[in-house]
Structure 1
Amino acid sequence: MVERAASALSLPEDWPAHPDPILALNRMGSFDWDLDTGLLHMDAQAHEIFEVRPEEYDGRPETLTMRIPSPEGRRLDTLVAQAIKDGSENYGTYIRTRRRDGTLRWIHTQGYIRRDETGRPRRIIGIVRDATEELRDSIARSGQVETAQDEALRRQTNVVQITTAALAHARTVQDVIDVLKHSHGLTHLGATSLVMGLVEAGRIRLVAEGPEGSFVPGTLVTRIDEQYPMSEAVRTLSPQFIESPQEFAERYPILWPHLTDLRITSAAYLPLIVQARPIGALGLLYDDRRGFTPEERNVLVALGSSIAQSLQRAMFYEQEKDLAQGLQQAMLPRSIPSVPGADVAVRYRAGGAGGSLGLDIGGDWYDLIPLPGGRVGAVIGDVQGHDPHAAAVMGQLRIVLRAYAAEGHTPAAVMARASVFLKELDTDRFATCLYAEADLSTGVVQLVRAGHVDPLLRRSDGECRRLRVEGGLPLGLSAEFGRIEYPVTTVELDPGQTLVLCTDGLIEEPGADLDEGVHTLRDLVCTGPDDVDDLADKLIDVAEERGGDDDVALLLLQRRSLAQRSGGRLQQHVGLGDPEALISARHMIRAAVRAWGAGERSDEIELVADELITNVLMHTEGSAVVTLRGMTGHDRRLRVEVEDSSSALPRRREAGESGVSGRGLLLVDRLADVWGVEARGGGKVVWCEFMVGQRG
């Protein structure tokens, strides 16, 4: 952490300063404090004086609070700040520090303030030394020996230090409550029980009480103007110290009868104040003391301040997390549509913030797009970054991908247009994406990948494999570099098989490469349940256990077993001058022929379809829309339709002298069982049908 901080801000060339060896011989330690970066370098002797091991110290002055009691630390901070403000060149003082065993020692510290030519303080270079022996005699002579009361205060202060350190790691309000009730236990302070309430809409709501069974009926929610000690602490913004049972009974007659079984002898109710505003109150009740010394009161007030700061930090974290999750959910689809012929499960897990506060929003998303003809588009993607801007870009990108797919563009065209859109947003973000368009009647799936991780295919017997999908550059980058051609990979999804799409947050693990992560995920999918919802739950539970800062988006698409039926349809748009679309159409035809059990006529069907498509591209100077339908009746047929925008009807003619042109319709007539032409709006459709088997 020190190295990262040091690289972020430039340090003086001669930092840290090197002490004269004579300092070490005199058991003096040295330090060099860079005020620009906040780093405080200490030599080995200084580590020894503070009893801080090198691995425990990260170069931050705040880390030394575990060795410097809060009052001493505040006094030292005030002295240094005053010296800097006054323009002094140096300062010196004695302070008490805490040994590892909890006992106190005196040290002397002296610092020299170095300023630049403008007078701005830049560094403090100084020494520290053990002054316990030096001051022991004078303390003894003045009668300031540590009494039993001092020893009790020392133990109490130590517990406060431990509790404060534990609160530093609390991120939620429940974490704070757990620290107070369970971590080291405030009962080490001698308290019999504790209560804590938070201010909500002019009332105090009890959020913690202990030990179990000490709850007082009627105190779950109380008004601030009622005669309760927590209410008074909040109302007056001052701690309420109750030093005897008699005082408790006189001041709070409503509450006292419920506490008699606890044999309370004194209590301290501390307001939890942040920025001059009360957010709650903490009550500590004792059964073995009467009254509080000034020192004990100061310690408890410091405890209340520490708890208040931790609570505010936790509240901010929870509010911002709720806001982030709400914004993220608003960007994702509100619901996933029911898709005939498939079972679908989606999951999303927000990543952690790495311990920092702030909007924890990622750019991961999923989407499911119903398409005409029994087809469906499945999308998984990840916008670069982990902030509100990434989420905003994701929301726009999800909408345009859905729009392009619904317009009937091919998967390759959908991805290319989305890349151009992202580039035109003029953002510095790119996105990885995987788009799968599946015909659930035939099981034919066309996959396009833009820098994203490959999907997995799980067979009905549990075997799982990684689908190697040829890919292009991430969205935005491909348009930036003029490489928006995206190859299409066609696979077959048999009934019972599951397509697994996810973002890299489900794959990447700290210390492991991507292939290891894919192998681990494949094993989880192989051994997972058959039901897609149960499998999705298992995978997201693993992601939760693993933790991490990256989001996880997951989409599972399982094809259900369906009998062959009329209406099964595949469709492909082939644009003029778009060879990739023509290749994709050929892949689609080949896969559909196999899926519909027409393998013995595959060559004939592919040749006829190719002739019809080529005829449109050559003679109409427009695009073609290719549609394949599986039809049943007394027999099973496969119908090929090629639609164009020209009203000119095709005609048979003899091949020219070159023998190259004029053979298209002759091939259609010879190979197809039946064919014809239909006028359709401003264009036409040439269709043909092939018998592919008797109805079973």
Structure 2
Amino acid sequence: MVDRGASAPSVPDDWPAHPDPILALNRMGSFDWDLDTGLFHMDAQAHEVFDLRPDEYDGNPETLAVRVPRPEAHRLDGLVAQAMKDGSENYGTYFRIRRRDGMLRWTHTQGYIRRDETGRPRRIIGIVRDATQEFEEIEACQDQTAQDEVRRRQTNVVQLTTAALAHARTVQDVIDVLKDTHGLTHLGATSLVMGLVEAGRIRLIAEGPAGSFVPGTGVTRIDEPYPMGEVVRTLAPRFIESPEEFAESYPILWPHITDLNITSAAYLPLIAQAKPIGAMGLLYSDRRGFSSDERNVLVALGSSIAQSLQRAMFYEQEKDLATGLQQAMLPRTIPSVPGADIAVRYRAGSTAGSLGRDIGGDWYDLIPLPGGRIGAVIGDVQGHDTHAAAVMGQLRIVLRAYAAEGHTPATVMARASVFLHELDTDRFATCLYAEADLSTGVVQVVRAGHIDPLIRQTDGTCRRIAVEGGLPLGLSAEFGRLEYPVGTIELDPGHTLLLCTDGLIEQPGADLDDGMQTLVAMIKTGPDDVRDLADLLIDVAEERGGDDDVALLLLRRRSLDTPQSGGRLQQHVAPGDPEALTQARHMIRAAVLAWGARERADEIELVADELITNALMHTEGSAVVTLRVLTATDRRLRVDVEDSSSALPRRRDAGESGVSGRGLLLVDLLTDVWGVEARGGGKCVWCEFVVGERS
């Protein structure tokens, strides 16, 4: 076996070492506090920590008051007393001392409480050490953590605000984002002021807290001594760090805002494309001064706000231009129509994030026609942009011109389609044209790819009127299908004709038929007055929103309070146009029935058809047929057929075949009186029928 003890090194006489040298090496001093006598013994290193010479300390803890500030002494005494009271074996804390040169130093102490068998504290043994460097490192770390948190929070606010500003479309949207609880208030600002640069002046658009508006500051010159004017002139931010600085720098403004308790403010120029477009002020009531990081964050935020504000200004300018164009294209006024109540409405669609799309090709029009008739138009050009509005304006004008010339509804629609096809555009349009004679209630309707009209009766019942239609304008000309069937509607007194575009019916995710049923139900329960009903329908469309325009036209035929002297209907019939002849027949029969002359309807239709046919066969031009009631008492109905030939009609024998020659015989047999009148370069063959009193 190996003798380990024989080879072991000798142990030093002073082992283990006394703790004093170890404490001294760590710059620690020791103390021994006798709680019974109150004596507080400190070694030499402890004296050095407290910056006391031995002759300056008498062992009484109160003597240390020359080095331990009163607040620190109270905190330290409270800590030790609590440790003794709650049975703790030790305690530790940092506290500050004031050295003889006046400098404050951080000190750390740790004590061990010795108790007797009853648990009563009798003695505290511990150490004290200079902890200034250690505490500064801790404090620096904490400050860095706090600064990092501040930067993170500020960066987060900038990101959130910038993201919110990305959705702001108008200047007011920008202001609302900044005033929102998730906006700049997270940076501690109490309120916001903002102004826009306009023609060398600043117009206030956000005035700060409620009731804080300063008279005379709504519009100010840039050279006036106000902070927003200063940052616009200098293109540099202005940070006001105290009320005193604010009062001294802006003596004109300060007296008006002293009640706002402003302690500091940051005014930022809003610069876009290298020029100032406005200025913004953040007012604070609970802080003074701005760190360099805070200033950098605010300047960066001001740049983001300026970009959003400029985008919003561009949008509003574009919208104003589009709205002006739209209003210029729509009729400026709607003529008053004897015998009818009219209401028209228009709502522009809106598409978020797209400039210039708050405008479209929807339109309405009301056209006075010869003989007291009225033409009602509703239409929709494809697209939602200024081009659609421009095409709509041109189409509205030519359609009005064709109707005013006296063409039949089908001809008006066909010619408008040819015009649109020949126009330098790829757009098409849907349209509905209704030509109404309010004295008879006869309405002729032509539909070009548009939705059907609706009729509301006096009891509120609403129904959709199915009208056979043709292709949309432009497409019918492109495909050579210019035939437009004409439907005839009888509009009784008190009934309302409703024409609209599909924006009033279509709903996201809903079937068009369901939308039509919803509209019918709404009209049924709506107010009787056409203006109130129009307001209701357009308000519902506004609440529903959507990116489609809405055009609406309501025509209500008034009740006949007094006997009418008669109505008047007129239609052109072109040669080689059998459809026009059919339409004329429909118009005549509907008018005769509406005027209460049912017993002679067949005779009147037959005679009118014969006169029109003769005009077309024996002349080279078109025929114009006019139907009217002459008097309200001894009621007579007159039919005029005009042509461009001066040759007078004459009776002829029918011949063996009996195919021709019977026309004037029928006229003479079936009418009460007839005749021929010269009309300029042509003539008019007329006839009258006594139809008696209207039942």
TM-score, L = length of structure 2: 0.77
Is 1:264 the counterpart of 2:262? The answer is yes
Aligned to 1:526, the other structure's residue is in SS state helix
Cα 1:317–1:531 change in 2 (3 A) is: same
Greater CA deviation, 520-529 or 596-605? 520-529
Is 1:383 the counterpart of 2:381? The answer is yes
- Which position in structure 2 is the counterpart of 1:226? 224
Greater CA deviation, 561-570 or 163-172? 561-570
Give the Cα separation in 2 of the matches to 1:620 and 1:266.
Answer: 93
Greater CA deviation, 321-330 or 681-690? 681-690
The Cα of 1:145 is off from its aligned counterpart by 6.5
Q: Deviations over 1:535-586 (max 9, x none)?
A: 1111111111111111111111111123443351111111111100000001
Q: After superposition, where does 1:185-264 map in structure 2 within 5 Å? A: 185-264=183-262
- Which position in structure 1 is the counterpart of 2:583? 584
Q: Deviations over 1:255-278 (max 9, x none)?
A: 223333333222111111111211
The Cα of 1:439 is off from its aligned counterpart by 0.8
Cα 1:620–1:218 change in 2 (3 A) is: closer
The Cα of 1:201 is off from its aligned counterpart by 2.0
The Cα of 1:645 is off from its aligned counterpart by 1.8
- Which position in structure 2 is the counterpart of 1:629? 628
CA contact (8 A) 2:575 2:621 kept: yes
- Which position in structure 2 is the counterpart of 1:521? 519
- Which position in structure 2 is the counterpart of 1:595? 594
Cα 1:183–1:167 change in 2 (3 A) is: farther
- Which position in structure 2 is the counterpart of 1:402? 400
Percent identity (aligned)? 84
Cα 1:394–1:217 change in 2 (3 A) is: closer
The Cα of 1:653 is off from its aligned counterpart by 3.1
- Which position in structure 2 is the counterpart of 1:347? 345
- What amino acid maps onto 2:686 in structure 1? W
CA contact (8 A) 1:632 1:695 kept: no
CA contact (8 A) 1:573 1:626 kept: yes
Aligned to 1:635, the other structure's residue is in SS state coil
CA contact (8 A) 1:442 1:568 kept: yes
CA contact (8 A) 2:160 2:183 kept: no
The Cα of 1:209 is off from its aligned counterpart by 2.7
Q: After superposition, where does 1:51-62 map in structure 2 within 5 Å? A: none
- Which position in structure 2 is the counterpart of 1:454? 452
Q: After superposition, where does 1:492-531 map in structure 2 within 5 Å? A: 492-531=490-529
Cα 1:248–1:409 change in 2 (3 A) is: same
The Cα of 1:530 is off from its aligned counterpart by 1.3
- Which position in structure 2 is the counterpart of 1:649? 648
Cα 1:227–1:579 change in 2 (3 A) is: same
CA contact (8 A) 2:595 2:694 kept: no
CA contact (8 A) 1:343 1:557 kept: yes
Cα 1:185–1:621 change in 2 (3 A) is: closer
- Which position in structure 2 is the counterpart of 1:639? 638
- List gaps (5 residues or longer) in structure 1: 1-138
Cα 1:667–1:344 change in 2 (3 A) is: same
Give the Cα separation in 1 of the matches to 2:215 and 2:436.
Answer: 61
CA contact (8 A) 2:597 2:694 kept: no
Q: Deviations over 1:21-62 (max 9, x none)?
A: xxxxxxxxxxxxxxxxxxxxxxxxxxxxxxxxxxxxxxxxxx
Give the Cα separation in 2 of the matches to 1:277 and 1:651.
Answer: 86
- What amino acid maps onto 2:614 in structure 1? N
The Cα of 1:160 is off from its aligned counterpart by 3.0
Give the Cα separation in 1 of the matches to 2:491 and 2:627.
Answer: 17
- Which position in structure 2 is the counterpart of 1:288? 286
Give the Cα separation in 2 of the matches to 1:629 and 1:430.
Answer: 38
- What amino acid maps onto 2:178 in structure 1? L
Give the Cα separation in 1 of the matches to 2:301 and 2:609.
Answer: 81
- What amino acid maps onto 1:305 in structure 2? S
CA contact (8 A) 1:239 1:270 kept: yes
- What amino acid maps onto 1:693 in structure 2? G
Greater CA deviation, 470-479 or 178-187? 178-187
- Which position in structure 2 is the counterpart of 1:661? 660
CA contact (8 A) 1:234 1:278 kept: yes
Cα 1:673–1:250 change in 2 (3 A) is: same
The Cα of 1:141 is off from its aligned counterpart by 13
CA contact (8 A) 2:369 2:375 kept: yes
CA contact (8 A) 2:371 2:568 kept: yes
- Which position in structure 2 is the counterpart of 1:555? 553
Give the Cα separation in 2 of the matches to 1:226 and 1:666.
Answer: 96
- Which position in structure 1 is the counterpart of 2:365? 367
- Which position in structure 2 is the counterpart of 1:95? none
The Cα of 1:482 is off from its aligned counterpart by 0.8
CA contact (8 A) 2:456 2:496 kept: yes
Q: After superposition, where does 1:600-619 map in structure 2 within 5 Å? A: 600-619=599-618
The Cα of 1:144 is off from its aligned counterpart by 8.2
The Cα of 1:634 is off from its aligned counterpart by 4.2
The Cα of 1:247 is off from its aligned counterpart by 2.1
The Cα of 1:244 is off from its aligned counterpart by 2.2
CA contact (8 A) 1:320 1:359 kept: no
Cα 1:334–1:301 change in 2 (3 A) is: same
- Which position in structure 1 is the counterpart of 2:307? 309
- Which position in structure 1 is the counterpart of 2:417? 419
- Which position in structure 1 is the counterpart of 2:681? 682
The Cα of 1:184 is off from its aligned counterpart by 2.5
- What amino acid maps onto 1:652 in structure 2? R
The Cα of 1:394 is off from its aligned counterpart by 1.3
Give the Cα separation in 2 of the matches to 1:694 and 1:451.
Answer: 42
- What amino acid maps onto 1:260 in structure 2? T
CA contact (8 A) 1:635 1:695 kept: no
- Which position in structure 2 is the counterpart of 1:466? 464
Q: Deviations over 1:169-221 (max 9, x none)?
A: 21111111122223425333222332212222222222113322333343322
Give the Cα separation in 1 of the matches to 2:611 and 2:214.
Answer: 85
Q: Deviations over 1:62-110 (max 9, x none)?
A: xxxxxxxxxxxxxxxxxxxxxxxxxxxxxxxxxxxxxxxxxxxxxxxxx
Paired residues, what number? 558
CA contact (8 A) 1:441 1:564 kept: no
- What amino acid maps onto 2:193 in structure 1? V
Give the Cα separation in 2 of the matches to 1:634 and 1:233.
Answer: 84
Give the Cα separation in 2 of the matches to 1:262 and 1:421.
Answer: 66
Structure 1 counterpart of 2:297, from 296, 299, 306 = 299
The Cα of 1:685 is off from its aligned counterpart by 1.4
Give the Cα separation in 1 of the matches to 2:520 and 2:646.
Answer: 53
Greater CA deviation, 286-295 or 644-653? 644-653
Aligned to 1:610, the other structure's residue is in SS state helix
Aligned to 2:635, the other structure's residue is in SS state strand
The Cα of 1:528 is off from its aligned counterpart by 1.4
Give the Cα separation in 2 of the matches to 1:625 and 1:218.
Answer: 70
Q: Deviations over 1:377-416 (max 9, x none)?
A: 1111111122222222211111111111111111111111
Give the Cα separation in 2 of the matches to 1:498 and 1:177.
Answer: 45
CA contact (8 A) 1:166 1:183 kept: no
- What amino acid maps onto 1:643 in structure 2? E
- What amino acid maps onto 1:320 in structure 2? E
- Which position in structure 1 is the counterpart of 2:442? 444
RMSD: 2.0
Q: Deviations over 1:157-178 (max 9, x none)?
A: 3333322222222111111112
CA contact (8 A) 1:450 1:473 kept: yes
Give the Cα separation in 1 of the matches to 2:694 and 2:388.
Answer: 53
Greater CA deviation, 682-691 or 322-331? 682-691
Cα 1:650–1:380 change in 2 (3 A) is: same
Give the Cα separation in 1 of the matches to 2:291 and 2:189.
Answer: 16
Aligned to 1:662, the other structure's residue is in SS state coil
- What amino acid maps onto 1:219 in structure 2? T
- What amino acid maps onto 1:552 in structure 2? V
CA contact (8 A) 1:575 1:581 kept: yes
Is 1:485 the counterpart of 2:483? The answer is yes
Structure with greater Cα Rg: 2
CA contact (8 A) 1:565 1:630 kept: no
Aligned to 2:401, the other structure's residue is in SS state helix
